[in-house]
Amino acid sequence: MSDPVRIGNASGFYGDRLTAVHEMLDGGHLDYLTGDYLAELTMLILGRDRLKDPSRGYAKTFLKQMETSLGLAIDKNVKIVVNAGGLNPHGLAVALRELADTLRVDAQIAFVSGDDLQPRAAELGLGTPITANAYLGGFGIKAALDRGADIVVTGRVTDASLTVGAAASAHGWGYKDLDAIAGAIVAGHVIECGPQATGGNYSFFTEIPMGRLGFPIAEVAADGSSVITKHENTGGAVTVGTVTAQLLYEIQGPRYYNPDSTALLDTIEIAQLGDDRVGISGVRGEAPPTDLKVSLNHLAGIRNEVDVVLTGLDIEAKADLFKAQFTAALPTSPAELTWELSRLDRPDAETEEQASALLKCVARDPNPAVVGRPFSATAVELALASYPGFTLTAPPGNGAPYGVFEPGYVDAGLVEHRVTQPDGVSIVIEPSPLRAEPTRDVSVPDSGPVDDWGPTRRAPLGEIIGARSGDKGGSANIGAWARTDEQFTWLDQTLTVDRVKELLPEVADLTVHRYRLPKLRALNFVIEGVLGRGVAENVRFDPQAKGLGEWLRSRVVDLPERFSR
16-28 pLDDT, tens digit per residue, is 999 999 999 999 9
Q: Where are the beta strands (DSSP E) in 412-498?
A: 417-420, 426-429, 456-460, 466-472, 475-481
Q: HSE on the CB side for 326, CA within 13 Å?
A: 29
pLDDT mean across residues, the chain: 95
Residue 195 scores a pLDDT above 90: yes
CA distance 480 to 269: 17
Mean pLDDT, range 467-496, rounded to an integer? 96
Q: Helix, strand or coil for residue 363?
A: strand
Average pLDDT in the 242-261 region? 97
- The pLDDT of residue 538 is above 80: no
Enumerate the β-bridge partners of residue 459.
Answer: 557
Per the CB < 8 A criterion, the answer to whether 109 and 138 are in contact is: no
* One-letter amino acid of 10: A
Residue-level pLDDT at 2? 65
pLDDT value, residue 402: 87
Contact of 134 with 115, CB cutoff 8 Å? yes
Residue 40 banded pLDDT, cuts 50, 70, 90: confident
Cross-strand bridge partners of residue 364? 303, 336
How many CB atoms neighbour CB 64 within 10 A?
13
Q: What is the C-alpha to C-alpha distance for residues 160 and 189, in angstroms, rounded to an integer? A: 5
pLDDT value of residue 537: 67
pLDDT-derived band at 403, boundaries 50, 70, 90: confident
Number of Cβ within a 10 Å radius of residue 382: 18
pLDDT value of residue 536:
61
Structural domains of the chain ordered from first start: 5-295+407-429 (no CATH), 305-403 (3.30.70), 456-560 (3.30.70)
How far is it, in rounded angstroms, from Cα 454 to Cα 450? 12
pLDDT band for position 370 (cuts 50, 70, 90): very high
* Residues listed for the chain: 565
What are the tens digits of pLDDT across the range 427-440?
A: 999 999 999 999 99
- Supply the pLDDT for residue 235: 97
318: Cα separation from own chain's centroid = 38
Q: What pLDDT sits at residue 70?
A: 98
Average pLDDT, stretch 171-191?
Answer: 98
Q: Considering only CA atoms, which of 239, 245, 309 is closest in space to residue 277? A: 239
H/E element holding 561? none
Buried b (16+ CB within 10 A) or exposed e, 478-496: bbbbbeeeebbbbbbebbb
User: In this predicted model, what pLDDT tens digit does every residue of 541-554 receive, in sequence order?
Assistant: 788 899 999 999 99
**Whole-angstrom Cα Rg for the chain:** 25
One-letter identity of residue 270: I
CA distances (Å), 67 to each of 64, 95, 104, 153, 181, in order? 5, 11, 11, 16, 33
Nearest partner of 552 among 512, 492, 505, judged by Cα = 505
Q: Pairing mode, if any, of strands 475-481 and 522-527?
A: antiparallel
Cα dist from 370 to 300, 301, 403, whole Å: 14, 11, 18
Report the C-alpha gap between 161 and 502 in whole angstroms: 38
How many angstroms separate the CA atoms of 521 and 266, rounded? 10
Model confidence band, residue 272 (pLDDT cutoffs 50, 70, 90)? very high
DSSP 201-253: T-TTGGGS--SSBPPEEEEE-TTS-EEEEE-TT-BS---HHHHHHHHTTT--S
Instruction: Supply the pLDDT for residue 512.
Output: 97
Question: Is it the case that residue 353 has pLDDT exceeding 70?
Answer: yes
- Residue 269: φ, ψ to 5°: -120, 130
User: Can you tell me the distance from the alpha carbon of 492 to that of 501, in angstroms, rounded to the nearest whole number?
Assistant: 15
Q: Tens of pLDDT along 91-109?
A: 999 999 999 999 999 999 9
Residue type, 505: P
Q: Are 300 and 312 in contact (CB under 8 A)?
A: no
Instruction: Give 509-518 pLDDT, tens digit per residue.
Output: 999 999 999 9
Q: What is the pTM of this model?
A: 0.94
Task: Say if residue 472's pLDDT is above 90.
Answer: no
Q: With 0-12 CB in 10 A as exposed, 13-18 as middle and 19+ as buried, what is 103?
A: middle
Average pLDDT over residues 301-323: 96
For residue range 130-148, list pLDDT tens digits in order. 999 999 999 999 999 999 9
Strand partners, 112: 154, 419
Distance CA 357, CA 312 (A): 8
User: Which helix H or strand E contains 496, and what residues bound it?
Assistant: none
User: SS3 for 102-165, per residue?
Assistant: HHCCCCCEEEEECCECHHHCCCCCCCCCCEEEECECCHHHHHHHHCCCCEEEECCECCCHHHHH
Instruction: Name the residue among 109, 149, 151, 112 with its Cα closest to residue 134.
Output: 112
